[in-house]
Structure 1
């Protein structure tokens, strides 16, 4: 990765692209909220929030709307959902043929269905809408997505995407040296099971596998004031993406509007013990021409949590590679 540009994405298992990093309204350099989680090995994109203009941001990136499989909406404010119906329509016109799963607050279903009816958009066979509550939202063989309620003016949830731990590499050469015949028995040994051979030998599959690889996790929290829910959701995460709408000196605005300051985001990262913090959702007031700029917000956060970055539109972040799980042998 060079200056936020993803290189050789096929070599990365999980990468994040920021499509909108402004709060409330777009600016000349920042669109409103949307983040894409790209899973290159599955040729899938999972989208988190979909502010107005998100599909235009796709056109300016190397992402493909045809690969969007899931959309997770944090809450029903316009700067997080006004791009949704246009994107749904475009995906439908493209004729991708796959079903789109959309997750969000209870009001999301009414919003989508009413908008579709008024614009005569047929989504019945192409869109599945899921109501989000705290807890498990989605799970497959490789990932889980969980949600936690945040503290905002309307119902809002943060999301955590966790990659499941992966089995260690099976040492075929060692198995062959032990005279273990290839076949279905190898599958059991790869799973770490203990098996008994025909000659009576007992083989522990764990001794033939390298240490498991720890799954990675990314957490997305916006919009919210500092709250315990965000800390709980982000516990031990590799990356925390957290809103930082205001500078510390504007904390009163943050409390009144139930948004976070840079220092609140950093405190969540510190208390949760995350590896890295990426701040986003910045108020347009902190432009380079103003007395307080985003560089000041970054300095404030780093005073509390040094491993902090500022997101910008089209900033691309590749999640760190797996960390090994301590051996159980």
Structure 2
């Protein structure tokens, strides 16, 4: 799992930061999942190592322009490029009306299937490898945070040990690899988990924007490997944050601390903290690290590989 930030500014783009979009690359299935799609996202994709042809799912947090103005253009371009793969898009109920209007007034027809899913708090997608869930955040319009959980996987199957036990190769290996107990033709019962190494714990990535501090963000981020959280304002501008229902750097850090995450990456910064101003982004980083030391500042095209947890970390987590 690799996270790439395609836009890290709030409200409007700047010379160095585009508006909101984050890509989650899943190399094991050659897919990209996109979170928000602000204006210019497709240009950012062209400047990155990501392939728009691999985008299969797009998760929209809310209907403000800096999070959705690039969506119609991206979908149209994918069609013009000859894409035939289905695209699933998740977001607030108004998202379907927005895209229908865009298609109607621009006379655009997608050459591939596009499925819109109006989300509600809870699990919104699940397959054999991943679970995606969402919760309501606290903003001026309905806004959702998203949590992507990779399912735990059995450890590496020991073929030599299986052969030494006289277990015949074939479909039975698949059952044992999944940790199931199998009865052999000679009557022996073999527990597959005894033939596998330490299980691989699934990773968890959480995306929270736009929101002021809220308990739902903490619950969504519980035990996450990476929390991507907005930090629009510095701590001294907290009054603005409460008025506009955005987070400060210290609010983001508090969510990370209370949720017990492994890494916080802050994004969605106000342009007011540009270099040379009285308060700069390094000040926001210092504020956050005073509460949660494992904090990074996102910037456009930052890539972050989500590390797997070691077996001893699994034990600590489950203790």
> TM-score normalized by structure 1?
0.93
* Counterpart for residue 191 of structure 2: 204
Which residue, out of 110, 114, 122, partners 1:123?
Answer: 110
> Secondary structure of 1:301's partner?
helix
* Counterpart for residue 7 of structure 1: none
Tell me the CA shift for residue 215 of structure 1.
Answer: 0.2
Give per-residue Cα distances to partners, 1:256-283, cap 9 Å, x unaligned: 0000000000000000000000000000
Residue 122 (structure 2) pairs with residue 135 (structure 1)? yes
Please identify, of 251-260 and 170-179, the stretch whose mean Cα deviation from structure 2 is larger. 170-179
C-alpha separation in 1, matches of 2:186 and 2:65: 68
Tell me the CA shift for residue 185 of structure 1.
Answer: 2.2
Query: 5+ unaligned residues in a row in structure 1: which ranges?
Result: 1-13
C-alpha separation in 2, matches of 1:278 and 1:213: 24
Tell me the CA shift for residue 196 of structure 1.
Answer: 2.8
Residue 56 (structure 2) pairs with residue 69 (structure 1)? yes
Paired residues of 1:102 and 1:127 also in contact (CA < 8 A): yes
Which residue, out of 145, 157, 182, partners 2:169?
Answer: 182
* Counterpart for residue 263 of structure 2: 276
* Counterpart for residue 31 of structure 1: 18
Give per-residue Cα distances to partners, 1:26-74, cap 9 Å, x unaligned: 0000000000111122111110000001111011111111111111000
> Secondary structure of 1:235's partner?
coil
C-alpha separation in 2, matches of 1:66 and 1:199: 51
Tell me the CA shift for residue 321 of structure 1.
Answer: 2.0
Give per-residue Cα distances to partners, 1:186-205, cap 9 Å, x unaligned: 22222222223333333222
Cα 1:125–1:316 change in 2 (3 A) is closer
Correspondences of 1:71-110 after superposition (within 5 Å)? 71-110=58-97
Residue 136 (structure 2) pairs with residue 149 (structure 1)? yes
Query: 5+ unaligned residues in a row in structure 2: which ranges?
Result: none
Instruction: Give the number of equivalent residue pairs.
Output: 315
C-alpha separation in 2, matches of 1:326 and 1:83: 43
Give per-residue Cα distances to partners, 1:79-122, cap 9 Å, x unaligned: 00001111011001001111111110000000000110000011
* Counterpart for residue 237 of structure 1: 224
Cα 1:126–1:195 change in 2 (3 A) is closer
RMSD: 1.5
Tell me the CA shift for residue 125 of structure 1.
Answer: 5.0
Which residue, out of 253, 258, 262, partners 1:266?
Answer: 253
Which residue, out of 46, 64, 70, partners 1:59?
Answer: 46
* Counterpart for residue 170 of structure 1: 157
C-alpha separation in 1, matches of 2:171 and 2:78: 42
Paired residues of 2:85 and 2:112 also in contact (CA < 8 A): no
Which residue, out of 177, 194, 201, partners 1:214?
Answer: 201
